[in-house]
């Protein structure tokens, strides 16, 4: 297992549409090793998720995990989830404003409208079909990760660029309001 270097905004790999994998691609040592490295890299950087093109591999894999994350203290814990060829589909028209950050966009956060519920369909790392619904705050996380695989960064979806802020100023000026809204979403949806 190795930590991979994370591509930052401006690197063309983040703007590529990542390539779908076959089950044979997925079973290869190369791809299984990539998944292990993505999990290690996400944990090392305190990310809530990471997509393969963020570590310079433009294939359709992303991972999500929240375990008392210091970057996102209001996020509920979420078990390690590996998604291959994922598709997200909104299950509601309701949206909420999510204050997002990204390992590939250092030191910047901004408010992004996200659907309050999505159905996720994918394969797991063994190639088995998985499908589940995600509601609330975590629905935003899955939309963010799958966006990466289509070459989209959260900054592309920031509705009002005046909400962009540094992490320090987020904590100083915006964290308490957003954390209250986030906790209300979590109380309502359970995640």
Q: What is the DSSP string of 139-179?
A: HHHHHHHHHHHTT--HHHH-S-GGG-B-HHHIIIIIHHHHH
| Nearest approach, Cβ of residue 148 and Zn ion (Å) | 6
Residue nearer to Zn ion on the CB measure, 102 or 112: 102
Q: What is the DSSP string of 11-79?
A: -GGGGSPPBPPPHHHHHSHHHHHHHHHHHHHHHHTT-SEEEGGGGT--BSEEEEEESS-SS-TTSPPEE
Residue nearer to Zn ion on the CB measure, 61 or 102: 102
Residue nearer to Zn ion on the CB measure, 155 or 175: 155
Task: List phi, psi (to 5°) of 19.
Answer: -90, 140
Taking CB under 5 A as the criterion, which residues in 62-91 touch Zn ion? none
- Is 145 assigned a catalytic role? yes
| Nearest approach, Cβ of residue 90 and Zn ion (Å) | 19
Span of 31-39, 73-81, 98-106, 118-126 interacting with Zn ion by CB under 5 A: 98-106
| Nearest approach, Cβ of residue 24 and Zn ion (Å) | 28
Span of 69-77, 96-104, 115-123, 168-176 interacting with Zn ion by CB under 5 A: 96-104
Does 102 interact with Zn ion (rule: CB under 5 A)? yes
Q: How far apart are CA 105 and CA 42, in angstroms?
A: 14
Residue nearest to Zn ion (CB): 102
Q: For residue 13, how far is the Cα from the chain centroid?
A: 16
Instruction: Indicate the SS3 state at residue 126.
Output: coil
Residue nearer to Zn ion on the CB measure, 21 or 52: 52
Supply the residues annotated as catalytic.
145
Contact footprint for Zn ion (CB under 5 A): 102
């Amino acid at each position: 297992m190795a930590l991979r270097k994370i591509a930052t905004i401006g690197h063309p790999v983040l703007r590529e549409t990542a390539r779908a994998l076959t089950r044979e691609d997925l079973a290869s040592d190369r791809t299984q090793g990539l998944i292990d490295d993505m999990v290690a890299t996400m944990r090392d950087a305190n990310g809530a998720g990471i997509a393969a093109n963020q570590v310079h591999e433009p294939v359709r894999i992303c991972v999500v995990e929240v375990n008392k994350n210091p970057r996102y203290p209001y996020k509920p814990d979420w078990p390690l989830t590996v998604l291959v060829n994922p598709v997200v589909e909104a299950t509601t028209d309701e949206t909420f404003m999510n204050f997002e950050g990204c390992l590939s966009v250092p030191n910047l956060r901004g408010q992004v409208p996200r659907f309050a519920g999505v159905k996720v369909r994918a394969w797991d790392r063994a190639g088995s079909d998985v499908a589940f619904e995600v509601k609330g705050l975590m629905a935003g996380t899955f939309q963010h990760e799958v966006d990466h695989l289509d070459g989209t960064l959260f900054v592309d979806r920031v509705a009002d660029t005046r909400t962009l802020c540094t992490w320090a100023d987020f904590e100083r000026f915006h964290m308490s309001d957003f954390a209250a809204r986030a906790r209300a979403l979590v109380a309502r949806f359970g995640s």
